[in-house]
Amino acid sequence: MSQISVRVNDKGYQSDVEPRLLLVYYLRDVLGLTGTHIGCDTSQCGACTVIVDGKAVKSCTMFAVQANGASITTVEGLAKDGSLHPVQEGFWEEHGLQCGFCTPGMLMTALQILERNPNPSEAEIRHGLEGNLCRCTGYQNIVKAIQYAAKKMQEIKA
């Protein structure tokens, strides 16, 4: 067993974990944060994407011990004080989800896209989403949702 200390959604945790435990299973099974989905376990789908120290990471490709000392944001950490994050609001308003399975990973990837570029073009959004698979939507409404969020986030900053 290895002891790790992490901040997840602005809350500190210390845990003893097996060195082989993947971050996605730590978040879901140890911390009970089941919003991060397990899709393929091979890093192909992006459903397990979380933000680790400011970078979008597929949590099925990272051991929990590698996150020791890190700050992690999961989909549960997006909404604040009962208000949806602009990315969540965009997916709601622009119908950026259907079955919802890919949505947590899409939301986290969208956040990364907008943090890197607050006003991305459609092509830049599509390029940023390349590591996330959605079998339902055809991506058009996901792109619209991210464009909505970009505009909303710019309004909030103004």
Output the pLDDT for position 43: 87
Considering 24, 49, 77, which residue would you say is the last residue of a domain? 77
- The predicted model scores a pTM of 0.95
Average pLDDT for residues 105-124, to the nearest whole number? Answer: 97
State yes or no: pLDDT of 17 exceeds 90: yes
Domain span holding position 114: 86-157
**% of the chain at pLDDT higher than 70:** 100
- My answer on whether 56 and 97 are in the same domain is no
Mean pLDDT of 63-74: 98
91 and 39 in a common domain: no
Q: Tokens standing for 139?
A: 């991506």
CATH number of residue 131's parent domain: 1.10.150.120
| Cα dist from 11 to 72, 84, 106, 134, whole Å | 9, 19, 23, 30
Q: Is residue 39 located within the same domain as residue 97? A: no
CATH number at residue 53: 3.10.20.30
* Chosen domain end from 55, 77, 99: 77
Instruction: Tell me: do 73 and 11 sit in the same domain.
Output: yes
Q: What is the pLDDT of residue 108?
A: 98
Please indicate whether residue 119 or residue 40 has the higher confidence score (pLDDT): 119
Shared-domain flag, residues 66 and 125 = no
pLDDT tens-digit series, residues 19-56: 999 999 999 999 999 999 999 878 899 999 999 999 99
How would you class 69 by CB atoms within 10 Å of its CB: exposed for 0-12, middle for 13-18, buried for 19 or more?
A: exposed
Q: How many domains does the chain have?
A: 2
Residue 94 and residue 71 share a domain: no
Res. 102 pLDDT band, cuts 50 70 90:
very high
Q: Which pLDDT score, from 0 to 100, does residue 63 have?
A: 98
Predicted confidence at residue 41, as pLDDT, reads: 77
Q: Please give the order of strands across the beta sheet that includes 2-8.
A: 11-17, 2-8, 71-73, 49-52, 55-58
Instruction: Convert 68-131 into a string of H (helix), E (strand) and C (coil).
Output: CCCEEECHHHCCECCECCHHHHHHHHCCCCCCCCCHHHHHHHHHHHHHHCCCCCHHHHHHHCCC
Domain final residue pick, 58, 77, 96: 77
